[in-house]
Amino acid sequence: MPQRLVVLSLPQLRRRDVTPGAIASLESLSRLGSLVDLIPAFPGLAASSFATLMTGTGPDEHGIVGDTYYDRAEGRIAGRPLPDSAVLAPKLWEWLKRERPEAKVMLWFAPSTHGAEVDLAAWADAGATLSTRPEGLAAELVARFGPLPASASPTDEPPRLEAMAWLLATAASVIVAEAPDLAVVRVPYLGQVARRYGPDGREAGRSVRTFEAGLREFLALLPRDTAVVVATESVSTPVFEPTFPNRILRGLGLLSLKSGPSGGLDIDLNSSAAFALADHQICHLYLNDPRQIGPVAAAFAGPHGSGVAQVASMGQRAALGMDHPRAGDVILVAEPDRWFAPDWWSSRAEAPGHPPVSASGMALATAGGLLLNPEHVQGSLGAPPPGADYLGVLVSSVTLPPAAISGPIRASEVFSVCQRLLA
């Protein structure tokens, strides 16, 4: 008989955090089943990594080349969060619905799933407003657990711990009440702390301990016949300085600017010969003038290559698994200790006003609607892990076949592991 399956997608979960004993509940779970090193998806960004976990394919197939992308046909930045329809490969829940049309599916705060044809779902709309499927579920959750914790103002530190506890408690309650055949729950807490304070410092260590307390309660509430798979979604590395590709393009005379709708300067996407969509440690350079591909790639590979580990253009994008129409004409990968900032402005007077940040949507790529303070970015993600300390992990409550646990496995293999447990 197919098992009910809960899949936890956890940014910043590392093998060293699970054993020996840091996240004791996962170590205990692995003793019942399996534990194997996991090579995080590339690019290691929320939307892209989650799509790889849930489709078993890479960006060249599922089309999610980052947390956002430039829609060439419409001449605009595809807004975040991306909808379910943006993922072009079949998802795990779609496969399950084909195999078992009566199966019940739950998606809890999962990236790029708004509009998915599932039975139960929860997500945060703009302004951290809770939305659910079915619609009435939101009121029930708020009545029982209170509102989704959110910052009082954009300048406040977000209530990361409170939001994590709320997310796990509500997910467990719905799983117990509704008994979905597949429940996919994303818990961003560890990744949020790693990006704000760095992945290896005191705050990161404290976050592992507090996460364990919440996770232990969540797992204890699950029905006994539930199989659990826990997979690393992405891993952050310590960073100390941003790189500003749009400023470089501006200095090369390739970036066209115009007055912003709320003051300052905005990028003119149509008139620019080239512009940069910065996405943590990945940057897509889109060119309206194809003749500039060679010179732009050469500039970032040479005199303007500080903080850039790799430059891929044209056929080289295939080696990154990013040969897709949504990807930039030139793709930059940052050094492990650097990240890409969206800034094209060089002074406070030039910075786009807020709200809105800019009509082009360019600053939304890494800022989530806010202008980032580089001092608040101590960790970043997207680039390949620089060493064993930044490997992820897969934990299963069910013993997996030897072929599946010979390890390390790739993020794309999580899909087949879940299929096996649901079949």
- Residue range 313-353, pLDDT digits in tens: 988 999 999 999 999 999 999 999 999 999 999 888 888 87
Q: Which letter does DSSP use for residue 314 in this model?
A: G
Residues paired with residue 258 on neighbouring β-strands, in sequence order: 266
Q: Greatest CA span in the chain, whole angstroms?
A: 64
**Under 8 Å between Cβ of 255 and 270:** no
Report percent pLDDT > 90 for the chain.
75
71: enclosing H helix or E strand: strand 69-71
**Number of residues in the chain:** 423
Q: Is 177 helix (H, G, I), strand (E, B) or coil?
A: helix
Q: Label residues 249-284 b or e (16+ Cβ within 10 Å = b).
A: bbeeebbbbeebeeebbbbebeebbbbbbbbbbbbb
Q: Residue 152 pLDDT > 70, yes or no? A: no
Residue 309 has pLDDT above 50, yes or no: yes
User: Which tens digit of pLDDT belongs to each residue from 84-106?
Assistant: 999 999 999 999 999 999 999 99
Residue type, 200: D
The DSSP bridge partners found for residue 287 are 274
The Cα angle at residue 84 between residues 82 and 86, in degrees rounded to 5: 60
pLDDT reported for residue 365: 45
| pLDDT for the residue numbered 293 | 96
Looking at residue 191, its amino acid is: G
Q: Is the pLDDT of residue 53 over 80?
A: yes
Model confidence band, residue 389 (pLDDT cutoffs 50, 70, 90): confident
Place of tokens 């204890």: 220
DSSP letter at 348 equals T
Query: Residue 2, Cβ neighbours under 10 Å: how many?
Result: 14
* Predicted local confidence at residue 158, as pLDDT: 87
pLDDT at 375: 80
Distance of CA 175 to the CA centre of its chain: 23
Q: Which range is least confidently modeled, 55-69, 141-155, 356-370? A: 356-370
Q: What would the two tokens of residue 205 be? A: 């260590």
Residue 109, sorted as left (phi over 0), alpha (psi -120 to 50) or beta, turns out to be left
pLDDT higher than threshold 90 for residue 19 = no
Amino acid identity of 173? S
Q: Which residues pair with 294 in a beta bridge?
A: none
Residue 58 has pLDDT above 80, yes or no: yes
Nearby residues of 14 by Cβ (< 8 Å), 6 or more positions away? 232, 235, 389, 390, 391, 392, 393
Q: Are 249 and 29 in contact (CB under 8 A)?
A: no
What single-letter amino acid sits at 184?
V
Region of 68 please: left (phi>0), alpha (psi -120 to 50) or beta. beta
In this structure, are residues 212 and 396 in contact, taking their beta carbons and an 8 Å threshold? no
Query: Which pLDDT band holds residue 366 (cuts at 50, 70, 90)?
Result: very low
pLDDT band of 244, cuts 50, 70, 90 = very high
CATH numbers and ranges of domains, the chain:
4-238+384-422 (3.40.720.10), 241-377 (3.30.1360)
In degrees and rounded to multiples of 5, residue 279 shows phi and psi of -140, 80
How high is the pLDDT of residue 412?
96
DSSP E strands in 134-190: the ranges are 182-186
C-alpha distance from residue 379 to each of 94, 197, 223 (Å): 34, 7, 36
